[in-house]
Amino acid sequence: MSPPPSQAPQAEPTRKTMSRPLAAGAIILCVISTIANIYIFNSFAKQPKILTFRNMVELRRPNQFIGLERVEMHPEARPILIYPSLLSQIDHAEPYRVYGDDPDKFAAWGGLVAPEDRQFKVTPQISTITEFQAIDFKMENCELTLIMPPNFHPPDTSRRDVLDIWILQVSHRLDIGTLSWHNRPKRIRKIDSVSMANPTNYTYKFGCPLNSLHAFEFSAGNHATYLEWSQDFNNPIPAVVMIQLPST
Ligand SMILES: *[C@@H]1O[C@H](CO)[C@@H](O)[C@H](O)[C@H]1NC(C)=O
């Protein structure tokens, strides 16, 4: 039996002791930095406003066409059909009701409506509000258009539907999640009263500078008006749309 290897003498653990003034300095530094952190945290918390998803509508849109004015344009740009960015109802009888575009509501409404499809409805109590944004370069002539099928109503001469069309005052995009009769945008003026007894394709022309917003209200022109359709994104007839035409 070999003797166990002799144990190496244990190395004395080296232990550096911090000098007292240095330790005191470190503690003071910690305290100062903690105070600074609290101060910075508080000063951020005091900032007036943190943007949420709902505030996004207030953001300014940057110009996405930088330098495009130097490009030679095709002389015959084709008209563009713009689907409403918002089409929703407000109800005089239920002033706080928000129609919104919640898919669940659409599901309740027959379950057959695709998310891009929107309801148009006008009765003496209910108006439809629509909003369009003109975002195409040098396409600053616009037309609000009602595209109607030739046989919209069954042959019935007693119909007396009249649509009043209003321009609304909007400074930033409307929020479909909060829009109700109570907070509806102000009417600027009535554009027209259109008989829908025998509907035709109605057009209203207006100027639409780049990135401008345009909102309209369709309301009942008399107590007999009752119009309703589901607007199909892929086959917009009947539909409210905007046509954007080239400008020079
Ligand atoms: C309106 O225009 C659409 C397509 O542009 C057309 O199919 C429809 O027949 C027109 N409606 C009327 C009432 O003329």
pLDDT tens string 149-203: 988 877 666 788 999 999 999 988 999 889 999 999 999 999 999 999 888 999 9
Host domain of residue 95: 77-245
Q: Is residue 44 part of a domain?
A: no
* Interatomic CA distance for residues 99 and 84, integer angstroms: 16
The total of structural domains in the chain comes to 1
Q: Is residue 43 part of a domain?
A: no
Ligand 1 mean position, distance from CA 3 (Å): 110
Ligand 1 mean position, distance from CA 54 (Å): 38
Percentage of the chain lying above the pLDDT 90 cut: 50
Ligand 1 atom having least distance to the Cα of 199: 13
Residue nearest to atom 6 of ligand 1 (CA): 149
* Interatomic CA distance for residues 100 and 202, integer angstroms: 26
Q: Which residues pair with 205 in a beta bridge?
A: 143
pLDDT of residue 39: 87
Q: Probe ligand 1: pick from 195, 198, 201, 232, max atoms within 8 Å of CB?
A: 201
- Tally the residues of the chain: 248
pLDDT tens string 6-39: 555 555 555 566 678 888 999 999 999 999 998 8
Q: Is residue 93 part of a domain?
A: yes
Ligand 1 mean position, distance from CA 31 (Å): 77
Q: Is residue 121 part of a domain?
A: yes
Residue nearest to atom 3 of ligand 1 (CA): 147
Q: Cα–Cα distances in Å, from 23 out to 18, 29, 35, 37, 56?
A: 6, 10, 19, 21, 51
Q: Is residue 48 part of a domain?
A: no
pLDDT tens string 40-80: 887 776 666 666 666 666 666 666 677 777 777 666 778 99
Ligand 1 mean position, distance from CA 147 (Å): 6
pLDDT tens string 128-142: 999 999 988 888 999
Sequence-ordered list of residues with C-beta below 8 angstroms from that of 223, at least 6 positions apart, any chain: 124
Q: Which single residue is written with the structure tokens 């943007």?
A: 51
Q: Which amino acid would we find at residue 83?
A: Y
pLDDT of residue 48: 61
Residues having CB closer than 6 A to ligand 1 are 147-148, 150, 200-201, 237
CATH number for the domain that contains residue 129: 2.60.120.380
The torsion defined by the Cα of 191, 195, 198 and 203, in degrees rounded to 10, comes to: 0
* 138 compared with 102, residue with greater pLDDT: 138
Q: Is residue 50 part of a domain?
A: no
Q: Tell whether pTM > 0.85.
A: no
Q: Is residue 12 part of a domain?
A: no
Q: Is residue 1 part of a domain?
A: no
